[in-house]
Structure 1
Amino acid sequence: MSLKKATLLIIIILVIDQVSKFYIKTHFALHHRIEVFDWFHILFVENDGMAWGTKLSDFIAGISDRTAKLALTIFRIVAVIGIGYWLVTSVKKKGPHILIVAIALIFAGALGNIIDSVFYGIIFDDSYSQVATFLPETGYDTLFHGMVVDMLHFPIWKGVLPEWIPFYGGDYFTFFEPVFNVADMAISSGIGMLIVFNKKAFHQDEEEIAEAVYVEKE
């Protein structure tokens, strides 16, 4: 797969991701929900942390939420630079098609959420009990302190778990509880492809290692 095609894939995902987030941010108040089907809802939430809303400050004592948020955003930027380098290197080495697609998906998803984290705090005002305004006089926060917009919710099953289930028996449970976005889907799909098609994605690297070992023995 060429770098041009990989870039096109990234741009398509980014456009879909950002258009959906802009629409939600400028048409929904926070926690507003539309039930499309019983098992699929559009639910506007904002994520100030990592996956599932986890924050660095939950793990590191003494660090403030704002410092943790800034550190997380900077880490995401460094990570996406590394992923971008991995993508370009894989294309130059003519890596397997599935590997390049997977990396492109992960890169696009990571970049999509970085845009929220870096810029949304200054280009939108808050969504509490109101629909946000695009490019207000004052945003809801500063640069690098924006929150990621999530809206896709799939409560496929709701109910009380059987008592015999360890730890959670008798509790009310929803599957699938987390709310996510297009960028999250791209990241999950890319990682899933690398796990499921591990041998196809990395067979070329294994062949290069085997060849290097053979040459060294010679």
Structure 2
Amino acid sequence: MKPFAAGLLALVLTLVADQASKLYLLFVYDLPLHDPLSLGPFVTLTVVWNRGISYGLFQQGTEFGRWALVAVATISTVALGIWMARAANRLLAVSLGLILGGAIGNAIDRVAYGAVFDFVHLHAGEWSWYVFNIADAAIVFGVIGLIWDAFVANRQQPPAA
């Protein structure tokens, strides 16, 4: 599979999984009615509406802030899409596809609801992680892939003759 096709597949799978999980939890299971839902000793599903960016930073309480974040996501998506189209290897393309799928999924939430729907809460004893969604996880794994590609994968290739 060519790099761009692999990246596009990662984007589509991420976006579908993200939006399907959110739609199911909001409108079929009705998580707001059953909040919180314990899935075990370390995982709880709960409703958090994130009006900021990663980890709830830069919370936006106005319509201007909401649409400014949508605009930033749109510009970033175009730039990352161009990068993915030019990717020379599958790892880079898939990593960018994960980031793009996550960014588009969260942008859809911002347009539809005014905030991003986060719902997975990992915790153990006194330790608690931020509440996140599938899009956020895909973005994190995509960034890890970018770092791996930049610092590890390129060093494993034999030098050009």
Q: Does 1:111 align with 2:104?
A: yes
Aligned identity (percent) is: 29
Tell me: CA distance 1:5–1:87, structure 2 relative to 1, closer, same or farther (3 Å).
same
Which of 37, 62, 67 aligns to 1:65? It is 62
Higher relative contact order (CA 8 A, sep 6+): 2
**Where does residue 24 of structure 2 map in the other structure?**
23
Indicate how the Cα distance of structure 1 residues 65 and 31 shifts in structure 2: closer, same or farther if over 3 A, else same: farther
Which of 120, 125, 133 in structure 2 is aligned with 1:181? 133
Off by >6 Å, runs of 4+ in structure 1: none
Who is 1:46 aligned against? 49
**Cα distance in 1 between the residues matched to 2:149 and 2:17:** 26
Measure, in 1, the Cα distance between the counterparts of 2:104 and 2:98: 10
- Report how many aligned residue pairs link the two structures: 155
SS at match of 2:138: helix
**1:189–1:56 distance in 2 versus 1, CA, 3 Å:** same
* Distance in 1 separating the partners of 2:49 and 2:26: 10
Where 1:188 maps in the other structure, the secondary structure is helix
Task: Please tell me whether residue 101 in structure 1 is matched to residue 104 in structure 2.
Answer: no
Answer whether contact 2:121 2:128 (CA < 8 A) is retained. no
Letter in 2 for 1:5: A
1:164 corresponds to: none
Q: Secondary structure at the match of 2:123?
A: coil
In structure 2, the CA distance between the partners of 1:192 and 1:157, relative to structure 1 (3 Å rule), is farther
- Where structure 1 has 5 or more consecutive residues not aligned to the other structure, the ranges are 58-63, 122-145, 159-173, 209-218
Query: Secondary structure at 2:32's aligned position in 1?
Result: coil
Superposed displacement of residue 56, structure 1: 5.8
Q: Secondary structure, in 3 states, of the residue corresponding to 1:151?
A: strand
Instruction: Provide the rounded CA distance (Å) in 1 between the counterparts of 2:100 and 2:132.
Output: 17
Q: Name the aligned partner's letter for residue 128 of structure 2.
A: F
Instruction: Tell me the equivalent position of 1:32.
Output: 35
Instruction: Compare the two structures and name the one with the higher helix fraction.
Output: 2
CA deviations on 1:137-177 (whole Å, 9 max, x unpaired) are xxxxxxxxx2111111101231xxxxxxxxxxxxxxx332x
2:116 match: 148
Find the partner of 1:75 among 72, 80, 84: 72
